[in-house]
């Protein structure tokens, strides 16, 4: 399905996008790019309290992203006399940020993608989210605009990421796609990777909690349910040495789920039934080993030896240390990014942050004197490999600068 839609958008551009939007979202505007007046109208529908909450969340995300950016430094070093090597950090030119709006309108995802790209220095940020009841979602539009989006699209699903990645008559193509989405959006990003960059290939969201006998078992159960409500296939895992905590959680989670409204109850009930796990371990080291094998997207630690776990754990998307914090804080407003690796990808990558929007590009320059050593070594190594033309690029400089090989 995704492959056919991507080919259609590549071939027919705006016409394909318009037909797909009508088919999937019953939305067929004259232009998918919102005008300043449309943006203003959408924002006017958002209450002052909600605007203030968006500002609060964006302040936290912006402040943390700025501090992360300060850690990304250009480099220039003379490694040998006359040999200068280095790298420059250059923001991408154009990024497309997708904000999902299916079961839940993910307002916070606008902060995580748009605002982080803005702090990184991306020149053109296009943000897209599906319509809600035939109109742009007011709070999502407000968050995109306040986060610094240069263009805002009211467009969802495969057609949104296809239009941003491939480009159409009215929508400029981008260099990178970021943001969460359903399985179709994820698959579209996977297939588009190579044509454009992507942040990561994301599956259903995950939570794991590490707890010992000192943990508040009620809090553990509530946190597991809190993340399971995302969807029917969202894993929720408990790793513990305490049979008491394990037994309590297994009894309490279904009770908490039963007390939820319809959609969260349906989602979390299916997730816990089919993907919930409670793993009883003998030692802290065994818990850490199991956790690193799972590499959970979100990992909470509620134990008496918090520092030991912080030092020991290696594989996760984001870590929440102590009962005072929880996954929902990071998801919504505390400042760390919630676009994170799932399905074990925490073994080899972290989540979205300013560095994902920045290319670290190397450079070198040399003195003529440096050619005496580098040019001769390059020529010899090239000839070992049978690459005579490579070798002669060193030879020609050795001759010109008065060195023999």
Cα distances (angstroms) measured from residue 57 to each of 135, 157, 332, 333, 335:
24, 25, 7, 4, 7
Collapsing DSSP states into helix, strand and coil, what is residue 220?
helix
Measuring CA to CA, which residue among 124, 125, 122 is closest to residue 90?
122
Element containing residue 277 per DSSP (H, E): strand 276-280
Q: Which of 297, 300, 323, 338 is catalytic?
A: 297
Pairing of strands 318-321, 197-198: unpaired
Residues 344 and 29: their CA atoms lie apart, in Å, by: 40
DSSP code at position 405: -
Query: Is 137 among the catalytic positions?
Result: no
In sequence order, the β-bridge partners of residue 236 are 207, 276
Contact assessment for residue 220 and residue 214, using Cβ atoms and an 8 Å cutoff? no
Contact assessment for residue 248 and residue 215, using Cβ atoms and an 8 Å cutoff? no
Number of CB atoms found within 10 A of residue 140's CB: 28
Task: Give me the DSSP letters along 12-81.
Answer: HTHHHHHHHHHHHH----S-SBPPHHHHHHHHHTS-HHHHHHHHHHHHHHHHHHHHHHHT---EEEEEET
In sequence order, the β-bridge partners of residue 362 are 87
Q: Which of 298, 300, 323, 338 is catalytic?
A: 298
- Please enumerate in sequence order all residues whose Cβ is within 8 A of that of 40, keeping only pairs 6 or more positions apart, or say none: none
Query: Is 300 among the catalytic positions?
Result: no
Give long-range contacts, CB 8 A cutoff, 24+ apart: 79-82. Answer: 80/370, 80/373, 81/367, 81/369, 81/370, 82/366, 82/367, 82/368, 82/369, 82/370
Instruction: State the distance between the two ends of the chain, measured CA to CA, in whole angstroms.
Output: 60
Active site residue ranges: 297-298
């Amino acid at each position: 399905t995704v492959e056919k839609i991507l080919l259609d958008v590549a071939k027919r551009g705006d016409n394909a996008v318009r037909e797909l939007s009508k088919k999937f979202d019953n939305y067929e505007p004259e232009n998918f790019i919102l005008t300043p007046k449309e943006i203003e109208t959408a924002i006017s529908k958002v209450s002052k309290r909600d605007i203030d909450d968006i500002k609060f969340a964006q302040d936290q995300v912006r402040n943390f992203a700025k501090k992360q950016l300060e850690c990304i430094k250009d480099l220039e070093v003379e490694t040998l006399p006359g040999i200068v090597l280095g790298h420059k950090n250059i923001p991408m030119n154009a990024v497309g940020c997708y904000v999902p709006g299916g079961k839940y309108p993910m307002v916070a995802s606008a902060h995580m993608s748009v605002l982080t790209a803005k702090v990184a220095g991306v020149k053109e940020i296009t943000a897209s989210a599906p319509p809600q009841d035939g109109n742009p979602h007011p709070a999502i539009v407000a968050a995109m605009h306040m986060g610094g989006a240069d263009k805002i699209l009211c467009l969802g699903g495969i057609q949104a990421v296809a239009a941003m990645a491939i480009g159409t008559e009215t929508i400029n193509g981008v260099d990178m796609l970021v943001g969460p989405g359903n399985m179709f959006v994820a698959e579209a990003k996977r297939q588009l990777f190579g044509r454009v960059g992507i942040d990561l290939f994301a599956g259903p969201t995950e939570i794991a909690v590490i707890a010992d006998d000192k943990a508040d078992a009620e809090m553990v159960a509530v946190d597991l349910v809190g993340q399971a409500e995302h969807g029917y296939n969202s894993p929720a895992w408990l790793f513990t040495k305490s049979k008491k905590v394990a037994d309590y959680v297994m009894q309490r989670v279904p009770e908490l789920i039963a007390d939820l409204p319809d959609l969260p109850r349906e989602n979390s009930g299916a997730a816990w039934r089919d993907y919930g796990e409670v793993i009883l371990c003998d030692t802290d080291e065994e818990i850490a080993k199991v956790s690193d094998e799972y590499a959970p997207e979100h990992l909470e630690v509620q134990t008496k030896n918090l520092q030991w776990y912080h030092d020991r754990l290696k594989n996760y998307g984001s870590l929440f240390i102590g009962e005072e914090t929880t996954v929902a804080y990071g998801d919504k407003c505390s400042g760390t990014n919630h676009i994170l690796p799932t399905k074990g990808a925490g073994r080899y990558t972290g989540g979205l942050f300013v560095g994902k929007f920045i290319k670290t590009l190397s450079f070198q320059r040399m003195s003529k004197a440096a050619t005496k050593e580098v040019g001769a070594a390059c020529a010899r190594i090239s000839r070992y490999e049978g690459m005579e033309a490579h070798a002669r690029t060193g030879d020609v400089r050795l001759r010109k600068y008065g060195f023999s090989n």
